[in-house]
Each structure stands twice: as C-alpha cells, then as structure tokens.
Structure 1
C-alpha cells in the first residue's frame, strides 16, 4: 500500500460565477480517475464522525457541497487534518490512506467521487490491520 500524505492534494473545481448563483463543473479532466461511484453524506449528527477506514485500491475526491467538516488523514507514519468548506475545492485521497471525517457543521453535505464501485474487500476497517499492512 503506497499511499503517502505527500500524495494528498486539493483539486480546484472550475466554477462559473454569476449573479444568479455559481456553477461548479466536474469533468473528466478535473478528476484524475474515472468516476465509478458517487455518494454523499448529509444530516450527520453533531459530534458524530464518518470514515474510519482505508482503501486498498480505491481513490476518492471529497467535496464539501455545503457547510464544513474536517478530514483527518493518516498514512501509517504521518498525519494531517484538512478542513473542507468550499464547494469548488475537492480533496484527492489516494489508496492506502486512513481517513476520518469529523466536526460536521449543521447542514453540511459531503460529496464523494470514487474510482471504484463498492467492494467490501477493498476496505481496511481496523486501524491496527492498516498499520500492519503499511509496514509490510
């Protein structure tokens, strides 16, 4: 599992500004993988967190469509926290990165663009297993 903190990056999502409201555009040249699944998190209760896993081969882009939340990222050696709060900015998370989402503001919506369809075998849901896999 080769994911490292240094490979995590923010992606600028092009937007068209208009007095009637802004328009964000996600096309294949913006996201560095073919999107095979899209889902979103919403109505996350105050104090709750999401994530708590890593992926073996799946890449993701997280976007705060509304509100804000923190993403805690861990490659088994280094950790970082990024706050997402702009709907025209996506967080690219490569394979092999443990992620936790927390501090959801009221009304926040997290859009997730994934490189693979759902496959339970792609998930690492135990942190100790994740660290062991990273070391081997």
Structure 2
C-alpha cells in the first residue's frame, strides 16, 4: 500500500509533513512506534481515535489556533486535505508506518475512510473549544493576516 500521495505542498503559515514511524517487524508481526517529542515534535497531551465511522462520513472541517496534531491510519486508511490559507495539499494515509503532522493554523478535512478504519490522533494540548476555528472564512481572514 502507498503511504501517501502529495498533490501540492503546504506550508506558508505552518507546515504539514509526513513522518516515517519507527517500525520493528519479525515473524510475529510489526510494531509501529510514536514517541512524544521524537516523533511528534511536541509533548503529547491527548490521544484519541476515530472508529466505527459510517460510510461517507467526513471529520475535521476545522483548524486550530495553537494545537498541533499527528494523524496515523492505525487500521485501514483515510484521506486528509490540509489548507494553510494559501496552499492546499491532499494526503492518503493507509499504512500505520506513516503519520502526518498538522500544525496550528491549518484547516483539515478527513474523508474517504475505509470500512473498519481507525484514525489515531496525537495532540499537543487537551481539548479547548476556544482553540478551534469552526468557520472557514474566519480561519482564512486570520491565516492571511499572519502571512
């Protein structure tokens, strides 16, 4: 399976980047490792996962003011579109050995989940509704001011 495809680079406000996770494989199987600052580049304060998603579901549809996240396709796959207010990129994550870092001030949309897929998310902060941009127009206005 392909780890990812990148259609357009992203990164004027804050970059998004693929991360190759440390993997150990033998006859028993494979273990993929994500370790706080070494893998994510930030202390991990919150971990959550998306699962049991219904067909056609999309998630995300927001940006964060300060939160940093790492997305991992723990099982199956999904597509994530990122937008920094200037450029967009699309990634297909479908192997647990590759993760995607998404920094603050990057709009994200997740879609095309495979049946039974699980998206694992590592986050730099605890949940804080005040950190969210829920309206794309508000995000665009502020992201372009910062450029």
TM-score, normalisation: structure 2: 0.87
Name the SS of the counterpart of 2:113 in structure 1.
coil
Q: Secondary structure at the match of 1:38?
A: strand
* Shift in Å, 1:5: 1.8
The aligned counterpart of 2:143 is: 134
Partner residue of 1:67?
A: 76
Q: Does residue 20 in structure 1 map to residue 28 in structure 2?
A: yes
User: Is the Cα–Cα contact under 8 Å of residues 5 and 97 in structure 1 kept in the other structure?
Assistant: no
User: 2: distance between equivalents of 1:57 and 1:68?
Assistant: 26
Query: Which of 7, 10, 18 is the equivalent residue of 1:5?
Result: 10
Question: TM-score scaled to structure 1, two decimals?
Answer: 0.94
Name the residue aligned to 1:78: 87
Gapped regions of structure 2 (runs ≥ 5): 1-8
Query: Are the counterparts in 2 of residues 14 and 26 from structure 1 also a CA contact under 8 Å?
Result: yes
Distance in 2 between the 1:100 and 1:27 partners? 25
Gaps of 5+ in 1: none
Q: Post-superposition, which runs of at least 4 consecutive aligned residues in structure 1 deviate over 6 A?
A: none
Secondary structure in structure 2 of the residue aligned to 1:134 = helix
Residue 4 (structure 2) aligns with? none
1:100-119 alignment runs, 5 A limit: 100-119=109-128
1:38 paired residue number:
47
Shift of 1:21: 0.9
The Cα shift of 1:11 comes to 0.6
Match of 2:103 among 64, 69, 94: 94
Could you tell me how far apart the structure 2 residues matched to 1:133 and 1:99 are? Answer: 16
